[in-house]
Structure 1
Amino acid sequence: MANIMDVQTEDNLQYHFFPVSHGSVQFKVRTANDAHLALTMGPQESDPMYEVFIGGWGNTKSVIRRNRTKPDKVEVDTPQILNSGEFRGFWVRWDGGVVSAGREGELIPFMSWTDPEPFPVAFVGVCTGWGATGTWKIEDGAEFDTPDKLEYKFGPAAAGSLEFEYRGPHNAHLCLTSAAAEVDPMYEIILGGWENTQSVIRYCRQKPDKVTLPTPGIMHPNEFRKFLIEWRCGRVMVRDGSSGALLMEWVDPAPFPVTHFAVRTGYGARGHWRIRHFGSGAGGQQLPPPSAPVAAPLYSAPPGYPGAGGPGGPGQWIDMSAGQVPPGAVVGGQDCNGEPMYVARAAHEGAVIPGKLVQSHGAAYVPWGGLEHGKPEYQVLVGGFNNWVPTKGSNIPPGAFPGGQSEDGETLYIGRVRHKGSLITGKVQQSHGVCYISFAGKELSFPKYEILLS
């Protein structure tokens, strides 16, 4: 367990900051009301900044706020959530832009918000105010128990990886789902089952198991064992968390978007867990923070690009490269592992083609000539609009945003479709009556799609 830091906060709304090494913090606080946390890039109040207020407004409500501005991003009723006479335990996580807060021992958050423009958090600040003083015991990382009961405890899976440590005699069960419930489709991973003799990957709670591996003695009742679960576009992998060695792997031919995970123990076992989940790129490495400067100095739309104009307004195209994402980038879709896809475009064969940017790949992709083309240099759409409407064929609705042009000079629009568990952005060519996307090396066409309006 991480070291515990004791902090006293006065009734003055001044944050006490400390560094954090990863995307969660667990704490206990004793106060009558208004336990405030700030998540920042540095050890001071500065934008960008998330604030999590627990037990505000006389211990009646809790909110998530960004950059100290209203309206609040989330507001929930939490009457008497704090107590001046006893410590109450909570956790706060920030993973892949998902900011969530929950009670100690509960994996399902009581409030959560997804930031379309996430930033790397390096410091956490705590304070109290509005008539309250507080005593805090702060730890980084969540730890909890599961009873000998085959009931899953659910939590949000921000993106493609989940790292955990488990201490128990056998039967560490973990599932990946598209909802906070046991619903199909569903992946299940059982480690140390059958009296700590074998481990399996199971699909939709059905037998035969997709993978079976002899693992005698993989778990221990008095020692934490570390594991890493990864899922990307249907590829489910289980690794030894210490060595990185691949233990089990299975590829789902019809993948689905994983949004939640859950854990449980049973068959005579109680388990103790430490869990860390985070957004990842290939190989389970954490995504680098956006490294681009602000958009204005970088704006240089080439002559003839549709939508060209001055920086700062909606619908501007910003030069980027090697996976860079500018502030305010339009999120148009989502990879099947949960990673966001940004609206991008690039020049190819005399055309300017809308496509997708996947940050962890370090490139944008555009569809052309039946193939998917990777582009390390590209432009990203920046603006305040993100209005998608369904349409089909050559029906281009009024206000559709022009995103490029074909090699013949025809205007290309920005569309998106759902395919193989992903929501993928691409180009709409009216004369063809379809939306084209790039996927797995190919250009695919769809007569029904959503189109972006300005």
Structure 2
Amino acid sequence: MTNVMDVFTEDNLQYQFYPVSSGSVQFKVRATNDAHIALTMGPQETEPMYEVMIGGWGNAKSVIRRNKTKPDKVEIETPNILNGGEFRGFWVRWDSGIISAGREGEAIPFISWSDPEPFPIQYVGVCTGWGATGTWKIEDGAEFDTPDKLEYKFGPVAAGALDFEYRGPHNCHVCLTTAPAEVDPMYEFIIGGWENTQSVIRYCRQKPDKVTVPTPGIMNANEFRKLLIEWRCGRLLVRDKVSGAVIMEWVDPSPFPVTHFGVRTGYGARGNWKIAHFSKSGALPLPPSAPVAAPLYSSPPGYPGGPAPAGGAGSWINVSGGQVPPGAVVGGQDCSGEPLYVIRAQHEGATLPGKLVPSHGCAYVPWGGLEHGKPEYQVLVGGPNNWTPTSGSNIPPGAFPGGQSEDGEPLFIGRVRHEGSMTTGKVQPSHGVCYISFAGQELGFPEYEILMS
């Protein structure tokens, strides 16, 4: 049994990435042509990278490409392989450097290539273009078992949450790490341990446990238990996915960036798992309920109808829903290790610089003492990435403009280190600080870095 994620891709050749932990992905796609699949090490278009292009060149050919370079590694004729009026099923596999793709229900691939220098694949991306949009149904990970062996099976994470189901008599073990291995630092969650009587949170495999709670009968050998583990800025939560109730909670004063999870069973228990690799569940913020005020100023540089940005290259691209366009400027990283991108968005008559957290499906801007989620925003693309330390109202010559306050004051793009993160925000010269949005609040810092043209 599998979960299915519905995805829509526009006619823009911009990949949407999702983590995978197995050596294959199964999907159905409805498109007239050019269904593209990327296989990468991270959630963006970076080398090394494989691309499987199905139904390209007017739905006539399919190719495999490495690192977006020509000549293509392999090319075959596949006339009418896609259809804009119906879903067609496919699979893409990778094993020991062999990249292959086939049709649903067929074991033999219709295209295949062996890379003499393979790399580990942890993300899959999908996109459409060249006149085509696409509707996708991507299968999530299938059920799998863990033996009574106390050995972790690892997979990558893309966000600050792990959504899973577990069926077993006891000893559901989950770890969060910086690599696909048992390395320190590491968080461990033992749920239903000690013969299904208690659960703990453990740090770096050391005792005493950080949290111990009684959980008699929490696991069941005959039915799946739906659970959610969340981590954000050092706050770790284990929730019951059905009721939302918190089972365990602990705050790490020195959090580390989590990149992988592991699962295992032992002490006489075997487990059956369903991991929602593509899930975006968790504590997702809601858009602000207050209406956006009408603009009180002329369009700032880069906005539609406004002048071009002053100084330096770069442009502001309209995006929504957590999407990251190619060439987006990385401004920092969240405490989970996820990259944060430089954005700006309109709020209460202002155009405010802020941060994009792709896994949350929205951007954030600071204003009025609060953090405001924005499902629609602009991302800085192809711009500078030169940051200079400064303080107070000292705006160095050549600082990159980021927007305007509701009163028309120019705002700039800054960033600060805070609680294990490097977070981008707005510099307001008249206030002498860089404001960032963080954990629901607007926080001001007199010492910060500013983005230069």
The answer to whether the 8 Å contact 2:365/2:372 transfers is: yes
In structure 2, the partner of 1:10 is none
Matches for 1:16-31 after TM superposition, within 5 Å: none
Matches for 1:345-360 after TM superposition, within 5 Å: 345-346=345-346, 352-356=351-355, 360=360
Per mean C-alpha deviation after superposition, the further-off stretch among 181-190 and 327-336 is 327-336
CA distances 1:2-60 after superposition (whole Å, capped 9, x unpaired)? 49xxxxxxxxxxxxxxxxxxx7899999xxxxxxx7867x512556743559xxxxxxx
Shift of the 453–51 alpha-carbon distance from structure 1 to 2, 3 Å rule, reads same
In structure 2, the partner of 1:177 is 177
The answer to whether the 8 Å contact 1:345/1:378 transfers is: no
Shift of the 71–311 alpha-carbon distance from structure 1 to 2, 3 Å rule, reads farther
| Partner Cα separation in structure 1 for residue 140 and residue 405 of structure 2 | 51
In structure 2, the partner of 1:32 is none
The residue identity in structure 2 corresponding to 1:123 is W
CA distances 1:344-378 after superposition (whole Å, capped 9, x unpaired)? 14467x975423356859774225xxx63445779
Structure 1 residue 189, shift from structure 2 partner: 0.6
In structure 2, the partner of 1:265 is 265
In structure 1, the partner of 2:121 is 111
The answer to whether the 8 Å contact 1:319/1:378 transfers is: no
SS in 2 for 1:199: strand
Shift of the 340–428 alpha-carbon distance from structure 1 to 2, 3 Å rule, reads closer
The residue identity in structure 2 corresponding to 1:416 is R
| Partner Cα separation in structure 2 for residue 410 and residue 432 of structure 1 | 11
In structure 2, the partner of 1:403 is 402
The answer to whether the 8 Å contact 1:164/1:227 transfers is: yes
2:356 is the counterpart of 1:343: no
Structure 1 residue 156, shift from structure 2 partner: 0.8
Shift of the 418–181 alpha-carbon distance from structure 1 to 2, 3 Å rule, reads farther
| Partner Cα separation in structure 2 for residue 223 and residue 272 of structure 1 | 10
| Partner Cα separation in structure 1 for residue 426 and residue 194 of structure 2 | 51
The residue identity in structure 1 corresponding to 2:51 is I
The answer to whether the 8 Å contact 2:38/2:51 transfers is: yes
2:31 is the counterpart of 1:44: yes
SS in 2 for 1:149: coil
2:133 is the counterpart of 1:123: no
Structure 1 residue 177, shift from structure 2 partner: 2.3
Shift of the 267–387 alpha-carbon distance from structure 1 to 2, 3 Å rule, reads farther
2:385 is the counterpart of 1:388: yes
| Partner Cα separation in structure 2 for residue 62 and residue 354 of structure 1 | 31
The residue identity in structure 1 corresponding to 2:425 is G
Shift of the 161–80 alpha-carbon distance from structure 1 to 2, 3 Å rule, reads closer
Instruction: Tell me the C-alpha RMSD between the 2 structures.
Output: 5.2
CA distances 1:292-330 after superposition (whole Å, capped 9, x unpaired)? xxxxxxxx9952623456699874456789x78696775
In structure 2, the partner of 1:305 is 300
| Partner Cα separation in structure 2 for residue 82 and residue 357 of structure 1 | 34
Q: What's the % identity of the aligned pairs?
A: 53
Shift of the 253–115 alpha-carbon distance from structure 1 to 2, 3 Å rule, reads farther
Shift of the 81–436 alpha-carbon distance from structure 1 to 2, 3 Å rule, reads closer
The residue identity in structure 2 corresponding to 1:112 is Q
| Partner Cα separation in structure 2 for residue 45 and residue 379 of structure 1 | 28
CA distances 1:153-182 after superposition (whole Å, capped 9, x unpaired)? 221111122222223332221011233333
The answer to whether the 8 Å contact 1:366/1:426 transfers is: yes
SS in 1 for 2:385: strand
| Partner Cα separation in structure 1 for residue 270 and residue 253 of structure 2 | 34
| Partner Cα separation in structure 2 for residue 243 and residue 189 of structure 1 | 19
Shift of the 25–165 alpha-carbon distance from structure 1 to 2, 3 Å rule, reads same
In structure 2, the partner of 1:72 is 67
Per mean C-alpha deviation after superposition, the further-off stretch among 156-165 and 435-444 is 435-444
Matches for 1:189-204 after TM superposition, within 5 Å: 189-204=189-204
In structure 2, the partner of 1:152 is 152
The residue identity in structure 2 corresponding to 1:404 is G
| Partner Cα separation in structure 2 for residue 320 and residue 79 of structure 1 | 35
In structure 2, the partner of 1:230 is 230
Structure 1 residue 261, shift from structure 2 partner: 0.9
| Partner Cα separation in structure 2 for residue 373 and residue 116 of structure 1 | 35
TM-score (norm 2): 0.61
The answer to whether the 8 Å contact 2:51/2:66 transfers is: no
| Partner Cα separation in structure 2 for residue 344 and residue 62 of structure 1 | 30
The residue identity in structure 1 corresponding to 2:275 is I
SS in 2 for 1:63: strand
Unpaired runs of 5+ residues, structure 2, are 4-17, 41-47, 57-62, 74-93, 110-118, 288-294
Per mean C-alpha deviation after superposition, the further-off stretch among 69-78 and 181-190 is 69-78
Unpaired runs of 5+ residues, structure 1, are 4-22, 30-36, 54-60, 90-108, 126-138, 289-299
CA distances 1:189-240 after superposition (whole Å, capped 9, x unpaired)? 1012112221112233233323222223333445443322222333322233
Structure 1 residue 405, shift from structure 2 partner: 4.6
In structure 1, the partner of 2:14 is none
Structure 1 residue 399, shift from structure 2 partner: 5.7
